[in-house]
Amino acid sequence: MSFSSDDFAKALEQHDYQFQRGQVVRGKAFSYESDGVFVDIGGKSAAFLPAEEASLRRITDLSQAVPLHEEREFLIIREQDGDGQVTLSIRQLEIRQLWQRLAEMQEENQTVQVRVSGVNKGGVTVDVQGIRGFIPRSHLIDKDNLDALIGKALTVSVLEVNPAAKKLVLSNRLAAQAASFSQLAEGQLIEGKVTGIRPFGVFVDFSGTTGLLHINQVSKNYVASLDAVFQVGQAIKAVIIEIDDIKRRISLSTKVLESYPGEMLEKMSEVMAEAATRLQTAQQVVPPNEDEAESDAESSDPEAELD
């Protein structure tokens, strides 16, 4: 039994091609035009991929971005016209997939490299493989000269992902802290600077992260006032006595470096100068007292204080 061209046309008419906007389809490019590419996706008519939708990156040669007869996925961005032709996009499919990857990065606490593209009073804007993101000033490591960051690559963690609102908020500071945490160990001597003084303790920035020197860990003697002992910007050495990976908290101590109770209060410069030698000869790192561990969590949280 023969199958004529009329029979073939009727068979096509009976086949219901339900191509819809937002649908992902597979197809093969088969013909280049000056403004795009014709793609076979198995419909009545060839689909069309405009040149500006061929890639998330800027391209000059369509044949490199979309080789002929190579099957791949496309996103339908415009439904069938009167001739049954749909409009496709690779660029918007890549954007959708990138948003999904960013959401996964947030969930898995992964980092990504971005490039700073602009500055405003709240922070900096960045390019994330074609998506615009924002890093608040409080989440930058270098927050004093934002203009100097333009064009620079930064490693960031993902704070907020909202594809519907096209909102992507990132943190350079948390990414640096995560990297630092992996290289830290209890009993390690650190060198940093005082960035905050509170009644309960001193915040110390070092290697891109922040630790807390609790008032009870400053000296074996009673400390009446931390303001009388430290000042913001002061260089300091201390020993890591506890690392809380879940809460991202680091507890520090200087009293373990003392040769006698109160030495930190009387001869701090000497204790600091001999810190490495003193640590080597110390028999053990003294853990914090239970009453310190029960101190107000919010007030002693470096994240809460520094944001």
Taking the model in full, what pTM does it have? 0.60
Residue 3 has pLDDT above 60, yes or no: no
Q: Express as a percent the part of the chain with pLDDT over 70.
A: 86
Residues in the chain: 307
Query: Which residue is it, tokens 């630092």?
Result: 180
Instruction: Report d(CA 197, CA 232) in Å as an integer.
Output: 7
Give dist(CA 248, CA 42) in Å, integer.
53
- Between CA 243 and CA 253, with CA 248 as vertex, the angle to 5 degrees is 40
Tokens of 211: 């630790």
Q: What is the pLDDT of residue 166?
A: 92
Q: Are 207 and 222 in contact (CB under 8 A)?
A: no
Residues forming a β-bridge with 123: 120, 136
Domains, the chain, in order of start with CATH, read 5-15+26-89 (2.40.50.140), 109-177 (2.40.50.140), 185-306 (2.40.50.140)
Distance between CA atoms of residues 143 and 277, nearest Å:
35
Which helix (H) or strand (E) covers residue 72, if one does?
A: strand 71-78
Alpha carbon distances (Å) from 250 to 114, 148, 203, 213, 216: 28, 30, 10, 9, 15
Task: Name, in order, each residue with C-beta under 8 angstroms of 101's C-beta and a sequence gap of 6 or more.
Answer: none
User: For position 13, what pLDDT does the model report?
Assistant: 52
Given a cut of 50, is residue 152 above it in pLDDT? yes
pLDDT, tens digit, 9 for 90 and up, residues 97-111: 999 999 999 998 889
Token pair 């960045």 is at which residue? 126
